[in-house]
Each structure stands twice: as structure tokens, then as C-alpha cells.
Structure 1
Amino acid sequence: MTRFFLNVLLCLSVLSTASHAQSGKRKLTDRDDLYGWEAVGRLDIGDQGFCTGTLIAQNLVLTAAHCAVERGTGEPYAPGKVTFRAGLSDGQSLADRKVVQIAVHPDYDDSARLSAEVVRADVALMRLEQPIPYSVADPFALHSGRVAGDEVSIASYGRGRSEAITRERSCRILQRRQGLITFNCDVTFGSSGSALLARKGPRWQILSVVSAVGSDGRQKVGFGMELSGIVSELKASLRRDAPQPKAAIRRLQVGSGKSNSGAKFISSGGG
């Protein structure tokens, strides 16, 4: 596994939206194509660029940590800077939601040189301002247990395919070792944060998050991490650090109504 990192690796967030022609992948451009994939969305990072994210709950988006922090400071993006656009296709999304809270893997270091350690920690969870109804997008479950065979799939946005989800129906796991997963799916800039999906029963489930791309000397190789335990820790972090609702204080006044017993009741706001 280490020898892969002797080759060039690149994180895959897009810092500009310039596009280049690509072919050979199926774009999901209408409602029928999108059926079952509505939970995949583009994460627009202000006017800086975009990544890909996937709903794992009505208000939670799983993505890569390097898609969730400011370069230079490593601090999570400010509330409202990132917008999740579920099922975006040709400029139209099924739902747009602002990201109001971000939890990043505690071991992720944006300033560190890209390495196996960085990829293993390249995971973030984003909470949306409002849930997206199940009738609009059905979130993906996390994969657990063994993967049958080595077939995986990926659905993402990317440079040259930024306006619609592009799905690669079948690609392969190359290796799983030391908390890393390598695969031969065709990832590109903007594919960062997209879910690597493994089939379990009738549905695809999230096995990993796309972090980086490199080469093993023969072919392009994508890199992700094992997710066991990470997502539950990030959920706990979101709960712990969630902004507390502001208390609304209203004066209580004696009401004028009476119960059968003759006792007066106390109501909020008088009456």
C-alpha cells in the first residue's frame, strides 16, 4: 500500500468550475435516471468550487474533510458558506440546503503532506439547515459486514461533468489494507467526498469516501478510507457542539378563565 504513495497523489476538490470534455460515463440527466440517486448532491463552496456529498440522513451529508475546511487555517467553513444541492442536474436541483454545522475527523490535518494517514482521516459530516424529506431524496445507509466480491460503484460530479451526476456502474476494489481502500473507479477533480458504494441486497450502501487519486505505475488509482466507527464519532461531535437554541422569555399573567373548580389558570401571554 505504501508504494502507491510514492507516486503523485492529488486531493480532488475543484477550486474552479472550468470544464473539459469527457465521455464514456452515464450522466443522470432526467428524473427517471435520478431515481434512487437523489441523495447524491453537489457541494458548492461559495464561489471557490465544489465537491460531492451524499445524504446519510435527512439533514446529514457525508463528504471528505478537505471539502469542509478553509485552506490555510484548517477551520471548518463558516455556516452558510457551503450549499448542498441534492440531485443537481442541468442547473436544477431537487433541494438546496445551506450547511450550518461541520464536524471534521479530529486527526485530519489540512496542512500535512498527503499521505496514508491523511487519507484515513479525510472524512467530514455536515448538518443541513433543514431536513430534506424522504419523498425528495432517500439517504444512503452505511455498509457493514463483508463486501461480496470486489465490485463497487460511484456517483459524483466532477470537472467536465459538473452539471449532472455521473455514475460509473461497476468498478473494482484493488486493495483493502491498514484502514485504506484503493479502487479503479474513474474519479476526477470534484469527485472528492463522493461515496464509494458496495451492493448489499437490493441497494447500494456507502463503503468509503473518495479522498484522492494517484497511480500504481500502471493505472489511475482512487483512494478512500475504512469508515468503521468514524461516522458515529462525527455524529456525536455534531450533537455535542450543536448551537443551543435561544430561550424565548415571556411574562406569565393571570388568565381570566376559570375551571369547574373555580381555580384560575396561568397562561403564557395573558388572555
Structure 2
Amino acid sequence: MRWLAIILCLMTGGVASAQTTSLRTLDTDYSAASWKAVGRIDFGRGAFCSGTLIAPDLVLTAAHCLYQPGSNRLWPTDAIRFRAGLRDGEAVATRSAKGAAAHAKFDPIGPLSVYNVAHDVALIQLSEPISTFDVPPFYIHNDRIAPGPVSVVSYGRDRANAQTRQKQCQMLAQLGDAMVFDCDVTFGSSGSPVFSHLNGRGRIMAVISGMMDVEGQKRSVGMALPDRVTEVKRQLRLQVAPLTAKVRRITVGNGQRNNTGAKFVRP
């Protein structure tokens, strides 16, 4: 089923849209202090995604980020670098990767379907742990998910050198294990954490898989995480290598590939 048809069926007009706030650049030590675990993942030269530390040596991001754009090759592990809290060229901590795994059920050449978005989850294991004193990791949201306010911290095209935060956007609909948001993301925001704020410090309820244009309105999509993260952790431990398949990541829409990893769709 097409995303457009699903969204138009499930979205109600004006779902809390007036409460959605604008992006704010975290350009001071004070504003960025709580979000140091969100960083930029650099792949080779020029490509990047967003990612979040969820353990001293584990970074959560989107599965499609691990595939090189415009080819059927995966990024070699030694080409992956995580820079926690990157701002104006300075990171709180920088680590290379020693391992990475995308969810085994994610299809890099498949459509932007509910099933594929629901499995667009990956973990990167860092070469050395990052001190939790310096960078406290975020936890995964394990409670019930309901439409309503969330927030996003991300990097992206034209804002690649500092985090931006949307203090409040909306989860509009849940489609199985996939979710639709009105959060303001762009190329490079793939893998960005979507936070719930029900119990004090934010918990990650989804990561951004891609974005699409629905009748002139930008919508982002992500997935429910607890089961997917557990499954990818198991892959990483067992050194299962879904990344060895000869596959390529698609960019849906105008057919142009973008080296920052996000997908953009115009139904």
C-alpha cells in the first residue's frame, strides 16, 4: 500500500499542528549540554547521518546509513567515525567504529514501505567506550506509544556543523511498527533520535528513517525501537553480517542520490 494513501487515511486534519515549534540551533554550551550523546556519524568523505549513544560503545542510527550512496557497497568499518555532540568543528568525544550491523530484515533496495521503515535500524560499535561521565547515553523508550508531542535533535544539510533541536513536533499516526511525524528534518537527519518526554529525561522512541512530501507538507517517518534494537544487538554479538549482501540503497523520488543518507519522496 502506498504511504500517501495510508497517511491520508490515518491522519486527522490539524492534529496538534499549532503546537509544533520551529528548529533551534544548539549553539551554546548551555543549550547543547543535555544533548551531547547525539552526534554526527561521518562516512568516508562528505557523507553523514545523525546518531545517538545508547551505551558507552553503541551508537543507534538508521540502517540505510550504512550503505554507500550510488553503489551496492557498504561503508567499510574503518570509514565510519562518530563525533558526539559535534558543534563548530569540536566534538565532546570522537571514536572510530570497530563493528556495525543493520537489521537483517531491512531491504536496502526495497520501497519506502511500512515494513521496511519499521526495520531501518542499525547499531555501530565504537572502537573504545565513551565515558558516561562525559556523555551520558540515552535510553530506549519502552512504554506505550500514543500520538502527541515529541522532539528531535539532528544534523542535516545546511546545518551539518551543529545540532538543531525541534523542542516539540507531533507523532501523527502509527502504522504497525512505523510512525509518521511532522518533525522538521532534512538530508543528513537520517538516524536522528525522536524523543518522548513522559518521564523526565528524554527517551528515544524512534529514529528518523526518511522524509516525504505529502501535498506540500513535509512528513518524516520512523519506527518503534525496543524489539528492533534487541535484534540488532544480537546480530552484532554473533557477528551476523547482513551488510555483506551485494545490495544498494535507494533514494526514492526524483532519482537523484544524495550523499547524506536521507530519503526524500514526493508522492
Describe the superposition over 1:166-222 as per-residue Cα deviations: whole angstroms up to 9, x where unpaired: 000000011012211000000101100011111131111000110111133252110
- Cα distance between partner residues in 1 of 2:87 and 2:216: 34
- Cα distance between partner residues in 2 of 1:2 and 1:142: 29
Which residue pairs with 1:152 in the alignment? 150
CA separation of 1:228/1:74 partners in 2, compared to 1, >3 Å: closer, same or farther? farther
146-155 vs 82-91, which moves further: 146-155
1:88, distance to aligned residue in structure 2 (A):
0.4
**Cα pair 1:103 1:126 within 8 Å, conserved:** yes
- Cα distance between partner residues in 2 of 1:158 and 1:133: 26
Which residue pairs with 1:128 in the alignment? 126
- Cα distance between partner residues in 1 of 2:150 and 2:232: 24
CA separation of 1:148/1:178 partners in 2, compared to 1, >3 Å: closer, same or farther? closer
1:3, distance to aligned residue in structure 2 (A):
4.1
1:62 equivalent in alignment to 2:88:
no
Describe the superposition over 1:68-97 as per-residue Cα deviations: whole angstroms up to 9, x where unpaired: 12343254x212211100000001001110
**Cα pair 2:141 2:226 within 8 Å, conserved:** no
Which residue pairs with 1:92 in the alignment? 90
CA separation of 1:222/1:5 partners in 2, compared to 1, >3 Å: closer, same or farther? farther
1:31, distance to aligned residue in structure 2 (A):
1.8
**Cα pair 1:102 1:127 within 8 Å, conserved:** yes
84-93 vs 209-218, which moves further: 209-218
Which residue pairs with 1:117 in the alignment? 115
Which residue pairs with 2:33 in the alignment? 35
Residue of 180, 183, 187 corresponding to 2:181: 183
Match of 1:130, as an amino acid?
E
With the length of structure 1 as denominator, give the TM-score of the two structures.
0.78
- Cα distance between partner residues in 2 of 1:229 and 1:119: 14
- Cα distance between partner residues in 1 of 2:239 and 2:195: 29
Match of 2:141, as an amino acid?
H
In our comparison, the structure showing a higher alpha carbon Rg is 1
Describe the superposition over 1:208-248 as per-residue Cα deviations: whole angstroms up to 9, x where unpaired: 11011113325211001111311011111111119xxxxxx
Which residue pairs with 2:261 in the alignment? none
Match of 2:72, as an amino acid?
T
CA separation of 1:32/1:213 partners in 2, compared to 1, >3 Å: closer, same or farther? same
- Cα distance between partner residues in 2 of 1:93 and 1:148: 34
Residue of 162, 165, 172 corresponding to 1:164: 162
Larger RCO: Structure 1 or Structure 2 (Cα < 8 Å, ≥ 6 residues apart)? Answer: 2
- Cα distance between partner residues in 1 of 2:197 and 2:238: 33
- Cα distance between partner residues in 2 of 1:218 and 1:84: 34
**Cα pair 2:87 2:161 within 8 Å, conserved:** yes
1:34, distance to aligned residue in structure 2 (A):
1.4
Higher strand fraction (1 or 2) = 1
**Cα pair 2:40 2:50 within 8 Å, conserved:** yes
1:237 equivalent in alignment to 2:235:
yes
83-92 vs 207-216, which moves further: 207-216
Higher helix fraction (1 or 2) = 2
Match of 2:4, as an amino acid?
F
CA separation of 1:143/1:28 partners in 2, compared to 1, >3 Å: closer, same or farther? same
CA separation of 1:3/1:92 partners in 2, compared to 1, >3 Å: closer, same or farther? closer
1:216 equivalent in alignment to 2:178:
no
Q: Secondary structure at the match of 1:161?
A: coil
Percent identity for Structure 1 against Structure 2: 40
CA separation of 1:177/1:31 partners in 2, compared to 1, >3 Å: closer, same or farther? same
With the length of structure 2 as denominator, give the TM-score of the two structures.
0.79
- Cα distance between partner residues in 1 of 2:5 and 2:61: 22
- Cα distance between partner residues in 2 of 1:55 and 1:98: 13
Q: Secondary structure at the match of 2:226?
A: coil
Match of 2:43, as an amino acid?
I
